[in-house]
Chains A and B, each alone.
Chain A
């Protein structure tokens, strides 16, 4: 079993729709939860990070963590074509190493 499971998609939505992404993890020792956006041939860009259960909002992005279920989510409201990218969840333990999900490829259709 992988440490972090993420559906690779692809996911295609119309412009303006809500994009919903999620990951599950197996190690309850994980402490920090991050979402990255990666455009083709570029390094990942940090979108959100959190360390506690609950919601964290930043503009059109909301990150949600449920430690009891070992489940994390990212929601993108009012999606734009420029949001088309691969989204990676990443989870960190106390050794500072990141465990990545497979990444979900999202296309927002104009």
Chain B
């Protein structure tokens, strides 16, 4: 299957700082990527749709100023958690698809804000 790489796999940051998470499609181009958040023992919650060359589309209730998304190329999308607080601690996962179906996911980033 297609490969989606996410970096870093885990990060610890101090409250008030910003953290950037990268999502790359390694063997295909992706005009659209998706960012999810997952709490322990819960399913994935879609945060936003990242569109190459244009603004991201955020789901209801997701603060666009808190979670900045940049999709600068066909293989890279970044999620920046700005002014992180402990309640932002979570597992963040990106996905991309080489075709109409078969979405592939990155390995996830575990963010801990202390």
* A residues neighboring B (CB under 8 Å): 32, 34, 36, 41-46, 49, 51, 88, 90, 92, 96-98, 100-103
Contacts and interface: CB of A to CB of B under 8 A. Distances in A.
B107 to A, nearest CB: 5
A92 B101 contact: yes
B77 interface: no
Nearest to B4: A43
Interface string B3-40: 01010000000000000000000000000101000000
B91 A46 contact: no
A100 B103 CA distance: 12
A91 to B, nearest CB: 11
B85 interface: no
Interface residues of B, number: 24
Contacts, number: 53
Interface string B70-93: 000000000000000000000101
Given A41-B110, A43-B106, A102-B43, 9 more contacts: A34-B101, A41-B108, A43-B93, A51-B101, A92-B103, A96-B100, A97-B49, A101-B43, A103-B43
B42 interface: yes
B61 to A, nearest CB: 15
Q: Which of B44, B105, B106 has the most CB of A within 10 A?
A: B44
Contacts of A51: 101
B95 to A, nearest CB: 8
Given A43-B105, A46-B104, A88 B44 contact: yes
